[in-house]
Amino acid sequence: MQELLDSKKINELLETMAEKIYNEFSSTDSVALVGIRSRGEILAQRLNQLLQNKGLSQLDSGVLDITLYRDDLDLKGADQPQVRSTEIEFDINEYHIILIDDVIWTGRTIRAALDALMDIGRPKVVRLAILVDKGFREFPIHPDYIGQEIDVSVDQKVRVYLNETDDKEQVVVE
Amino acid sequence: MSELLIKDGRVIDPANKIDTVSDVLIREGKIAEIGSVKASGEMKTIDAKDKYVVPGLIDLHVHFREPGDEGKETIASGSHAAVAGGFTSVACMPNTQPTIDNEATVEYVYRQAAEANLANVYATGAITKGRDGEELAEMGQMVRGGVVAFTDDGTGVQDSGVMLKAFQYASMFDKVIMQHCQDDAIAGNGCMNSGYQATVLGLPGMSPLAEELMIARDLLLVQQTKARYHVQHLSTKKAAQIIREAKQQGIAVTTEVSPHHLLLTEDCCVGYDTNYKMNPPLRRQEDVDAMRQAVADGTIDCLATDHAPHLSSEKELEFFNAPPGILGLECALGLYVKALIDTKTIDWPRMIAMMTHIPADILSIDKGTLAIGADADVTIIDPTSPWQVDVEKFYSKSRNCPFHGWDLTARATHTIVGGEIKFQLG
Amino acid sequence: MKKKSSSKDFVWRRKHLLGLKGMSADELIHLFNTAEGFKEISQRSIKKAPALRGKVVGNLFFEDSTRTRTSFALAVSRLSADIVEFTAKASSLSKGETLRDTARNLEAMGIDMVVVRHKAGGAANLLSQCIDACVINAGDGYHEHPTQGLLDIFTIRELRQDIKGLKVAIVGDIAHSRVARSNIWALHTLGAEVFLVGPPTLMPSAVSQLPVTVCHDFDSIIGQMDVLNMLRVQFERIGSPVIPSLLEYSRLFALTEKRMEKAKSDVIVMHPGPMNRGLEIEGTVADGPNSTVLRQVSNGLAVRMAVLFLVNQASKLPADERIDS
């Protein structure tokens, strides 16, 4: 196990991402941060706080559970997924949605998330913010805001630990 | 002159209080000699060393389904099952299609039995026409045809007035009246014992009261007459107590018990396996214990299988809709040993008595003994060899038996009827 | 109200949902948490998720039940599976097509799951033994109606913090009620105290061996109850030896406005439906503020989606990790 990012670095990356997002949207846009369960949800909360500090106060936020949209539900031997609630309390039509997740790899999760979003409504724009990009994409999906691209081999696992759920804060490669 | 010599077996003949290692010589279909017999040249000999040589076993309660339901069993296939299980004589219940309630149907049974030429098959006749509980059947005519008992088995005679008349009428023939004791008003549509499991499984229950009420009623009725009364397939603790007390008062009552009521409880019905659906239903453990106790103290007179074949397609129905009853003949002996000998409830001579001369006495048939000159119906039993019940090997046409896969000891190795070997374990 | 999610590692192992007897508290809670996730689907414009896309579910009803059948049909279509409706007269005769025959026919059509309603107790168990598809019991005789039990308790759970310690009265014809049995088992497992209220003629034979308190005087306990689950009284029982008359039954056991005065102000009033207004429950009570009748119906959808999803997940486990009974 090797540490890729420590707590300080994670916060710096989030700050940079917040800055980029802030610069791209005007205060008249309806913007919402939607985190993908479960760590995307926490990152979305943090970005929300950072953006509010910058003065983007009209932010909505929500949580997306993509379990029912996964493409491996029918695979034998896959870990049994736990269904949890999607919590998006606002009407996403005409919204600028920023989808947030901790790690991107094959792109399959994001494909599922986009489908889940489309079943809820028709957003004006969907952007993707990712803390760590592991590469090895299998779908034509690319993040708009990337914290850091990392160089690992395909079979190495990248894990993100966050204080809110894990009692520690770091990104490691296993 | 045909002769058959059974050498060196333990001869158990409870009717004559014999229990000794000896030879048995059969000549011209009769028991000719018991003692030390020297084999002569022509004589066919069976080595019965370490085996038990007993009077041919008798089951006074079987269903051979003929006429009407030949897909389940025929008199021929049932007879084959009987001799394979060591039984030389059986009494067939009259709940066939049509009901055996007249002389012609009785004669039909004997004709089919003679054709099968395996076991001694006795017919019983219905108490009421069509077993509908209303009009008495032609008992006198059926006696002419050779019935050995009357019963509406499958159902009890509900109307007390009809039952009293039946006892009165039957008493002039000295034939026993056998009753399937079940008060329908109490039984309702019950398909298993009413109790915890029926409550959990959500199945309509049949209260023990249904059995007990009818026994109590019949015991009052029969005392008004000179009839003999036999309670079929006893199953509840209180029913056993009622009969015990009746016997103490000298009332002419006998009773039987089946292997399943000595071995299985209502807990078997968890899982809804229809092979555990019986009528009367499987009861609780305390009832099973009471059945064994009643065997031990003589309250229960004899052992009867209630051999009841059913089609697989019927037993594949939902529990409620499946017909009740199971096969008995081909594994009964081993099951009785498990229930009664292995548990030290009774000894071998007593058990053989309950399967030979006692049921013969109830039916008033000249069977069940190895007395010199008696019909040479003999069963040779290997009392110790282990075997496993396999329904696929049954001679019965049906397969409905919950004892499939059970490990038993004791089974018949030779079944001899009228001096002829009708079954030999191969 | 947020519920703590069950353990991440929890694996649902039941390939069939036959009954709630024997189901652990962890299983029940996992199922409720999963159902929570399905509620949202019914609230959005596209009321569908692709979780069971391509699956075929047989809706096998041998007994009339518009509500349960419709609820399952809707649950199936919300998960993007196809449904084959199959209604038939109950096979009760040996000469007719048996339940097994029907099941084998369905299987030959490539059915992945079967929802079954039958008037014989154990019909779902029987079905589960003779086909490979997942079997969901939608009510079998007086045995169980597990999804109704689940949706009842899911509804209570939404309105109260915890099931543990709640006093729940089930009122009416307990003897012939699969709903009562499913409720009794699961409520007991989750720590509720169950009271059965009704005349002795409508109690099951071994009621004393169930984990419940039996009471024949509704008025004496109504004030302590947190939940009143009013069972439907079958009209054919009125005038039979079990209930002398409708009037007498209503006087003794119906939930009337007058009787409600004795109940806690926040008592939850439930009914599995369809209601006999004026028989076991007065119309004003059924429509009153304490009634959860409609909430039960919408929760039923979420619970049934969760069940369909979970049994399908379990069917993919290796045989030795699965519970098939």
pLDDT tens string C264-306: 999 999 999 899 999 999 999 999 999 999 999 999 999 999 9
pLDDT at C3: 40
Whether residue B158 sits in one domain with residue B13: no
Q: B295 and B214 in one domain?
A: yes
User: Is C50 in Cβ contact with A115 (below 8 Å)?
Assistant: yes
Q: A85 and C40: CB-CB below 8 Å?
A: yes
pLDDT in tens, B184-214: 999 999 999 999 999 999 999 999 999 999 9
The predicted-structure confidence for B114-161, as pLDDT tens digits, reads as follows 999 999 999 999 999 999 999 999 999 999 999 999 999 999 999 999
Higher pLDDT, C100 or B46: B46
Which of the other chains make 3 or more beta carbon contacts under 8 angstroms with chain A?
A: C
Q: What is the mean pLDDT of residues B415-423?
A: 97
Write down the pLDDT at residue C89.
Answer: 63
Q: Which chains touch C (3 or more CB pairs under 8 A)?
A: A, B
Residue A75 pLDDT more than 60? yes
3-state DSSP assignment of residue C146: helix
CB pairs under 8 A between B and C: 75
The residues in C 63-102 lying below 8 A from A, measured between CB atoms, are 79
pLDDT in the model for residue C91: 44
Q: Output the pLDDT for position C239.
A: 65
pLDDT at C92: 43
Same-domain status, B44 and B84? no
Residue in C with minimal Cα distance to B323: C94
Domain that includes residue A108, residue range: 2-173
Inside any domain, residue B369: no
Catalytically annotated residue among B59, B287, B306, B375: B306
Chain A hits for C46, Cβ within 8 Å: 118-120
Q: Is A120 on the interface with C (CB under 8 A)?
A: yes
Fold of C146-297: Rossmann fold (3.40.50)
Nearest one of B240, B292, B239 to B261, comparing CA atoms: B292
Interface touch B203/C21, C-beta < 8 Å: no
Q: What pLDDT does C105 receive?
A: 85
Q: Let me know whether B28 and B67 are in one domain.
A: no
Q: Give the residue from B200, B209, B318 with the most C CB atoms within 10 Å of its CB, the best one to mutate.
A: B318
Across A114-142, average pLDDT: 95
Q: Which residues of B touch C178 (CB under 8 A)?
A: 202
pLDDT of residue C5: 45
Nearest to C8 among A73, A82, A85 (CB): A82
Domain boundary among B363, B384, B403: B363
Distance CA A116, CA B33 (A): 94
Kindly indicate the confidence band of residue C242, based on its pLDDT and cuts at 50, 70 and 90.
confident
Domain shared by B151 and B263, yes or no = yes
Residues from chain C that touch B323, judged by Cβ atoms under 8 A, are 94
Q: How many domains does chain A have?
A: 1
Point out which residues pair with C117 in neighbouring strands.
C61
Lowest mean pLDDT across A67-81, C10-24, C130-144, C301-315: A67-81
* Contact by Cβ (8 Å): B402, B273: yes
Q: Residue B414 pLDDT more than 50?
A: yes
Task: Return the axis-axis angle of helices C293-314 and C25-39, rounded to nearest 10°.
Answer: 110
Tell me, yes or no, whether B370 lies in a domain.
no
CB interface of A with C, residues 76-95, below 8 Å: 76-78, 80-87
Please count the structural domains in chain B. Answer: 2
Kindly state whether residues B275 and B299 are assigned to the same domain: yes
Partner C contacted by A167 (CB < 8 A): no
- Chain A residues whose CB is inside 8 A of the C10 CB are 82
Measured between CB atoms, does A73 come within 8 Å of chain C? yes
Choose, out of C309, C310, C312, C323, the residue to mutate when testing the contact with A (most A CBs < 10 Å).
C309
Of all residues in chain C, the one with the smallest CA distance to A71 is: C51
Per-residue pLDDT at B138? 97
Q: A37 and A83 in contact (C-beta within 8 Å)?
A: no
Q: At residue C94, does pLDDT exceed 60?
A: no
One domain, residues B192 and B96: yes
Share the mean pLDDT of chain C: 91
Task: Point out the residue among B205, B314, B321 whose CB comes nearest to the CB of C120.
Answer: B321
Chain C positions touching A65 (Cβ under 8 A) are 37
pLDDT in tens, C120-137: 999 999 999 989 999 999
Fold match between domain C25-144+299-320 and domain C146-297: yes
Global pTM? 0.91
Nearest to C99 among B200, B204, B318 (CB): B318
Residues B161 and B298 in one domain: yes
- Mean per-residue pLDDT over chain B, rounded: 97
Residues B250 and B184 in one domain: yes
B61 vs A69, B178, B276, C195, CA distance in Å? 64, 10, 19, 47
Residues of B in contact with C188 (CB under 8 A): none
pLDDT tens digits, one per residue of C166-191:
999 999 999 999 999 999 999 999 99
Range of the domain at B187: 56-363
Hey, what CATH class is C25-144+299-320 in? alpha beta
Statement: residue B327 has pLDDT above 90: yes
- Give me the pLDDT at residue A159, please: 92
Best B191, B199, B283 member to test C by mutation, with max C CBs in 10 Å, is: B199
Give me the residues of C, 281-320, that contact B with CB < 8 A: none
pLDDT at position B104 is: 96
Rounded-to-integer distance, Cα C208 and Cα B335, Å: 34
- B234 pLDDT more than 70: yes
Q: What is the pLDDT of chain A when averaged over all its residues?
A: 92
Q: Closest partner residue to C21 among B200, B207, B314, by Cβ? A: B200
B172-185 pLDDT per residue, tens:
999 999 999 999 99
Q: Which residue has 């229809």 as its token pair?
A: B274
Q: Which residues of C touch A120 (CB under 8 A)?
A: 44-46
Is B306 marked active-site?
yes
Domain CATH for A101: 3.40.50.2020
What secondary structure letter does DSSP report for A71?
A: T
Percent of chain B with pLDDT over 90: 96
Residues B148, B12 within the same domain: no
Return the CATH number at B145.
Answer: 3.20.20.140
pLDDT recorded at residue A50? 93
In percent, the amount of chain C with pLDDT more than 70 equals 94
For chain C, give every domain's residue range. Answer: 25-144+299-320, 146-297
Q: Is residue B202 domain-shared with residue B239, that is, in the same domain?
A: yes
